[in-house]
A and B are shown apart, each in its own frame.
Chain A
Amino acid sequence: MTDQVLAVEHHHDEVGTRLGFWLFLYTELFLFAAFFLVYAVYRSSHLEDFKLAAENLNTTIGAVNTVILLTSSLTMVLSLDALKKGSVKLAKILLLATVTLGVTFLIIKGFEWGAKFDHHIFLQTAKGIAAGQGSPLLTPGEEMLPVGQVLFFGLYFVMTGTHALHIIIGATWMLIVYFWISKGSINPENHGVLERCGLYWHLVDVIWIFLFPLYYLVA
């Protein structure tokens, strides 16, 4: 017994890593669930205002962005498939396509936010209001919109903003993975990181799937 040498094997549990990553994804889901809960409560108490405010959002833009994100999810799936099959070059092209679609989503969202800013609807801070930079539409006064609409736009900016932040994180992560694939540290035999990056991206897509009807279709 004593002269037996213990072979220390470097053990990597891919399934366990993935399960752990799914747990992290559920924490992300619950972050958004809290927002959805607040939305649900305020919508139920300010139904008419929510519908009126939602009319200011452009359904076509929302639908186009939905299609863009769904397409990016497809290119992500195909990128992982390509890498698993050994087509490294194709995997890289599809990954870049996914990043491009994500950035396109952000640019469209940026224009949409810009249009709201032009109509004096934006997220304001107590500090900004004190400095006279608040919007008359959103601060108590003669011109203020009904409270329900102010709540709707506040939730709109916070929820789509948090979602956009996740798009930025996902796209950045993809660019890092792209670099690692180029270097060869992520390859057909070792593709776990691309797989988890894809899971993250799909979750961001799932969240948008619920944001879209709640903001663009309830008018």
Chain B
Amino acid sequence: MNTHEQTQSPRLPIIVFAALILLTISTVLLSGLDVGNTTSLLIAMAVASMKAGLVLYFFMHLNHEPLIFKLFLGVAFFTLLAIFVLTFSDYSFRVLA
């Protein structure tokens, strides 16, 4: 009845964990590059998003959840995106006294 109940071998979580550690090491190494503020911030956020994605998808078992769980994540993500984009579309064009 519940497809979620299947157990898995510990191999997958360990592979995901190894990937997370590798990404952590790469983000520390990449932060040493002299590529300018915006680029280095973008790289750091891209690596962090990959790590968060791995945790959400595998550790939090979104891979085994029904579609509605993924839709919820999508709604949350786009709400966050809208808040950040709208805030900066205001803030960036303000003339500060």
Give the B-binding residues of A (Cβ under 8 A): 14-15, 18-19, 22-23, 26, 29-30, 33, 37, 40-41, 44-45, 47, 51, 59, 63, 66-67, 70-71, 73-74, 76-78, 81, 84-85, 198-199, 202-203, 205-206, 209-210, 212-214, 217-218
Contacts and interface: CB of A to CB of B under 8 A. Distances in A.
B84 A37 contact: yes
Contacts of A73: 17, 55, 59
Contacts of A205: 55, 59
A213 B72 contact: no
Contacts of A198: 59-60
Contact of B47 (A47, A51, A206, A213): A213
Return the 8 tightest CB-CB contacts between A and B, nearest first.
A213-B44, A217-B31, A74-B17, A77-B13, A84-B7, A26-B76, A206-B52, A209-B51
Contacts of B13: 74, 77-78, 81
Contacts of A74: 13-14, 16-17, 59
B28 A209 contact: no
Contact of A209 (B7, B31, B55, B83): B55
A14 B4 CA distance: 10
B48 A210 contact: yes
B52 A209 contact: yes
Contacts of A84: 5, 7
Contacts of B17: 70-71, 73-74
Q: Which of B37, B65, B79, B96 has the most CB of A within 10 A?
A: B37
